[in-house]
């Protein structure tokens, strides 16, 4: 069983992310430090795998323990490892916030650009994914619920649109709830480990505040090819309090 993260540890990780976001570096990278909305801890300049904020078995029965163990400890860990190895080849990029690298991939050396896109995207996407879930989920209320209703007509209509984006993503990828530059909400879907921060790869439409992984490794052990059942189960563990927090932070960017 994975140990829970204490509040002190969480704040330390968040502080490390914000400290990294304050750094400036190579020419061509915009200062997008405030986008560091989620913990992206580093040790000795290298990204490290953030621990889950709950035990592996605590999302049962909706997401199974074995999948969580493999998904976090194997897949996400591999993205972190491969990202660090790529960045080690370009030391001038080492201090850049990951959001800056993903937000301006054209400024990343062509020799490592694909790795930063795929494995940097994988690290960022999964770090967000773990944070927007919690055992038992939570209730969608307040300003975020109002904004969703204003943007989509109702919470149920939003869920239908989001689920459809997840369900119709061909092959591997993600579904997203995004705060756009105009401070509105939008649903998006991206292939592989791409995300809405990326420019020059996908249409950058804003800051993701909720993401659902629809790679088969996220659900195959429990749901096999039944992606729709996985999506339905996932709604039961969405941490709306965290998503609301990220929404407010995105509005301040």
Segment 106-139, tens digit of pLDDT:
999 999 999 999 999 999 999 999 999 999 999 9
Q: Using an 8 Å Cβ cutoff, are 210 and 132 in contact? A: yes
Residue environment code for 202-234, b if the CB has 16+ CB neighbours within 10 A, otherwise e? bebbbbbbbbbbbbeebbebbbeeebeebbebb
Q: Tell me the CATH number for domain 142-251.
A: 3.55.40.20
Q: For tokens 């990204």, name the residue.
A: 47
Domain boundaries, the chain: 7-131, 142-251
Cβ-contact 195, 124 below 8 angstroms: yes
- Preceding peptide of 16 cis, ω within 30°: no
pLDDT at 35: 56
Tell me the pLDDT of the chain (253 aa) as tens digits. 333 333 333 333 333 333 333 333 333 444 443 356 888 999 988 999 999 999 999 999 999 999 999 999 999 999 999 999 999 999 888 788 999 999 999 999 999 999 999 999 999 999 999 999 999 999 999 999 999 999 999 999 999 999 999 999 999 999 999 999 999 999 999 999 999 999 767 766 889 999 999 999 999 999 999 999 999 999 999 999 999 999 999 998 8
**pTM, to two decimals:** 0.86
CATH class label, 7-131: mainly alpha
Residue 130's H or E segment, with its range, is: helix 121-131
Instruction: Judge whether 7-131 and 142-251 match in fold.
Output: no
CA–CA separation, 36 vs 83, rounded Å?
Answer: 17
């Amino acid at each position: 069983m994975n140990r829970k993260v204490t509040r002190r540890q969480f704040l330390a990780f968040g502080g490390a992310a914000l400290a990294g976001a304050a750094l400036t570096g190579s020419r061509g990278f915009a200062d997008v430090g405030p986008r560091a909305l989620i913990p992206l801890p580093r040790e000795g300049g290298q990204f490290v795998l953030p621990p889950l904020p709950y035990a592996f078995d605590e999302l049962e029965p909706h997401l199974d323990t074995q999948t969580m163990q493999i998904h976090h400890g194997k897949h996400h860990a591999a993205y972190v490892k491969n990202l660090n190895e790529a960045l080690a080849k370009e030391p001038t990029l080492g201090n850049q916030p990951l959001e800056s690298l993903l937000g301006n991939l054209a400024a990343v050396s062509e020799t490592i650009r694909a790795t930063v896109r795929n494995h940097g995207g994988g690290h960022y996407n999964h770090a967000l994914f773990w944070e927007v879930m919690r055992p038992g989920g939570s209730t969608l209320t307040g300003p975020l619920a109002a904004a969703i209703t204003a943007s989509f007509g109702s919470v149920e209509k939003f869920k239908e649109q989001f689920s459809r984006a997840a369900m119709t993503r061909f092959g591997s990828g993600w579904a997203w709830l995004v705060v756009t530059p105009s401070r509105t909400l939008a649903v998006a879907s991206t292939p592989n480990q791409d995300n809405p921060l990326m420019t020059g790869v996908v249409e950058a439409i804003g800051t993701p505040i909720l993401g659902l992984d629809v790679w088969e490794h996220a659900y195959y052990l429990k749901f096999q090819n039944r992606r729709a059942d996985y999506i339905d189960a996932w709604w039961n563990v969405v941490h709306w309090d965290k998503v609301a927090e990220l929404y407010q932070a995105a509005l301040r960017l």
